[in-house]
């Protein structure tokens, strides 16, 4: 390679790097807009044309970043899953193993769900759209949901191993009931518009822990605390008389 060629190569490299970075930024911006659109109209409502209109780009410009509507839908699912993990899963990992971590995961899940009552959930709407279909989009959606439920299952297993749940607890049954609370909340709050649905979902989770939890792992109810304090005070008074 001649000296001229070497200079030309090094001159091109920064420009190509900047072009690649700009291309990635543009693609990320398109995915962000597509995710916002999908929460309103569903994954099936996404199209290159609709997205071009929202982003004020040409159809060919949007198409160049994805190549197909299917690839666009899969990119949206992956982005949604990434954000879900960042908001729900990773913060809970700072909590101790066992029941504290399980509680944190559910609390984070509930917090995100409370926002999605207005905006919509890709996992919920996607399940309705693709439950009876086959193909890469459905596979991506199913894979994301299963990945999250597997993480929840590990948290349940951990709580059982730490002695925070009863030894005979059926892990899959408990996971099924927790997942059921979230699905019921979406139906009750988003579709039926029933007030108090979030409180009932939280109460349902507490009921599950009371049903399956080891006695020494559950918080002492306020009434019991008062009774114990009163009993302790009487005991102290009796001892001082002696």
What is residue 139's predicted lDDT score, i.e. its pLDDT? 97
Instruction: State the distance between the two ends of the chain, measured CA to CA, in whole angstroms.
Output: 102
- Give the whole-number percent of the chain exceeding pLDDT 70: 81
Task: Please tell me which residue, 89 or 241, carries the higher pLDDT value.
Answer: 89
- Which pairs count as long-range contacts for 210-219, CB under 8 Å and 24+ apart, including other chains? 212/165, 212/166, 212/169, 212/174, 213/99, 213/164, 213/165, 213/166, 214/163, 214/164, 214/165, 214/166, 216/163, 217/98, 217/99, 217/163, 217/164, 217/165
What is residue 240's predicted lDDT score, i.e. its pLDDT? 45
What is residue 235's predicted lDDT score, i.e. its pLDDT? 46
Domains of the chain listed by start with CATH number? 73-212 (1.10.357.10)
Tell me the average pLDDT of the chain: 84
Residue 152 half-sphere exposure, CB side, CA atoms within 13 Å?
25
| Helix and strand numbers, DSSP H then E, in the chain | 11, 0
pTM, 2 dp: 0.78
Lowest mean pLDDT among 17-21, 37-41, 54-58, 75-79: 17-21
CB 152 within 8 A of CB 158: no
Mean pLDDT value across residues 112-134: 90
What is residue 18's predicted lDDT score, i.e. its pLDDT? 62
What is residue 1's predicted lDDT score, i.e. its pLDDT? 44
What is residue 49's predicted lDDT score, i.e. its pLDDT? 87
Per-residue pLDDT at 14 exceeds 80: no
Per-residue pLDDT at 95 exceeds 50: yes
What is residue 119's predicted lDDT score, i.e. its pLDDT? 84
Mean pLDDT value across residues 165-188: 96
CB 45 within 8 A of CB 37: yes
Residue 122: closest CA among 74, 89, 61: 74
Per-residue pLDDT at 13 exceeds 60: no
Mean pLDDT value across residues 201-213: 96
At 217-234, the pLDDT tens digits run: 655 444 444 444 444 444
What is residue 26's predicted lDDT score, i.e. its pLDDT? 86
What is residue 118's predicted lDDT score, i.e. its pLDDT? 85
161 DSSP β-pair partners: none
- Give the whole-number percent of the chain exceeding pLDDT 90: 60
Confidence of residue 208 (pLDDT cuts 50, 70, 90): very high
Mean pLDDT value across residues 161-184: 96
Confidence of residue 64 (pLDDT cuts 50, 70, 90): confident
List the structure tokens of 219: 């918080």
User: How many Å apart are CA 146 and CA 150, to the nearest integer?
Assistant: 6
Mean pLDDT value across residues 19-35: 83
């Amino acid at each position: 390679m001649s000296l001229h060629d070497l200079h030309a190569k090094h001159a091109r490299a920064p420009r190509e790097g900047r072009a690649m970075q700009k291309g990635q930024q543009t693609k990320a911006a398109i995915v962000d807009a597509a995710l916002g659109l999908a929460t309103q109209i569903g994954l099936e409502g996404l199209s290159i044309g609709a997205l071009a209109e929202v982003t004020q780009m040409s159809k060919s410009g949007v198409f160049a970043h994805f190549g197909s509507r299917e690839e666009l839908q899969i990119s949206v699912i992956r982005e949604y899953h990434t954000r879900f993990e960042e908001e729900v899963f990773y913060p809970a990992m700072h909590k101790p193993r066992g029941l504290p971590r399980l509680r944190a995961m559910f609390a984070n899940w509930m917090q995100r769900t409370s926002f999605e009552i207005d905006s919509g959930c890709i996992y919920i709407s996607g399940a309705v759209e693709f439950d009876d279909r086959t193909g890469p989009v459905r596979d991506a959606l199913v894979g994301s949901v299963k990945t999250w439920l597997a993480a929840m299952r590990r948290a349940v297993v951990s709580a059982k191993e730490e002695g925070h749940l009863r030894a005979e607890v059926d892990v899959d049954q408990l996971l099924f009931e927790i997942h059921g609370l979230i699905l019921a909340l979406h139906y009750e709050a988003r579709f039926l518009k029933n007030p108090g649905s979030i409180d009932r979902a939280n109460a349902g989770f507490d009921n599950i822990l009371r049903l399956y939890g080891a006695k020494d792992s559950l918080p002492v109810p306020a009434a019991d605390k008062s009774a114990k304090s009163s009993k302790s005070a009487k005991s102290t008074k009796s001892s001082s008389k002696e």
